Amino acid sequence: MLLAGSILITLSSQVKLPSLLAMGFVTTVLAYRWGGNLRALLLAAAVMASLTLAIMAILGWASGLGFGWINTLGTANVVRSWMSPPTLLALGTGHVGILLGLGDHTTAVLSLTRAIGVLIITVMVCWLLLAVLRGRLHPIGGLGVALAVTVLLFPVVQPWYLLWAIIPLAAWATRPGFRVAAILATLIVGIFGPTANGDRFALFQIVDATAASAIIVILLIALTYTRLPWRPLAAEQVVTAAESASKTPATRRPTAAPDAYADST
């Protein structure tokens, strides 16, 4: 399952590169299971990096595109998206400068605010990865927070980018209030959010998309109902799992927080 999940994450990164953040949390979880020390982290990073690069190389060779897409990663920065806080701050500062007669320095301010945003993203993601490695934070929660920080501070933001963070955060949180809010936000952003070119969908398109989404969710629940813990485990199963875990030899690793790999609080 780890191999299949890693391959899926790498494939998704070829569609939207920020999804590669998930690979970082897979790496830290693997390092935590291997002992949670520096040696385990370096080994897990080497394994996952090799796997990721190999899959990318195979895809580039099979598609004939190679790695030319790397040169186009900065194309989105040309767009001045007001939904991005760093970009909005730079645009506002630039207009204030124009009103004060200081000239148009928007481009220079954009370079500064976007660089600060990327620096904050880097620091926050590294801190979250370290928290997961030490067992203080659930990896799904860490991924959700990392994607949320990335979306908020990214140079370009589209409304549906919020779904990157909402989905893992909804899977991580256990409080009904948070889940209901996440579901409502997902529906509003996914169905009624503006599109890339400002168009609006017709009513029948919204109905068809909602119906198709409902069918897909029902199918996923039906396929995973007996494999995922949708319901509390029976007492006998809990005792059996505890007994089997007690027979496994203990491995020295960082002590996990009580709620790090369980329900969030």
Tell me if 22 sits within 8 A of 140, measured CB to CB: no
Separation between Cα atoms, residue 161 and residue 4, nearest integer Å: 25
Q: What is the pLDDT of residue 122?
A: 92
Structure tokens at 233: 């485990």
Degrees, nearest 5: CA angle 14-124-53: 30
Report the chain (265 residues): mean pLDDT per 10 consecutive residues: 81 82 90 87 90 87 76 69 82 85 82 89 92 88 89 81 79 74 70 57 73 86 74 50 50 52 44
What is the value of pTM for the model shown?
Answer: 0.66
Q: What is the pLDDT of residue 232?
A: 54
**Nearest C-alpha neighbor of 85 from the set 108, 124, 116:** 116
Q: What is the pLDDT of residue 108?
A: 84
Cβ burial 202-213 (10 Å sphere, 16+ → b, else e): eeeeeeeeeeee
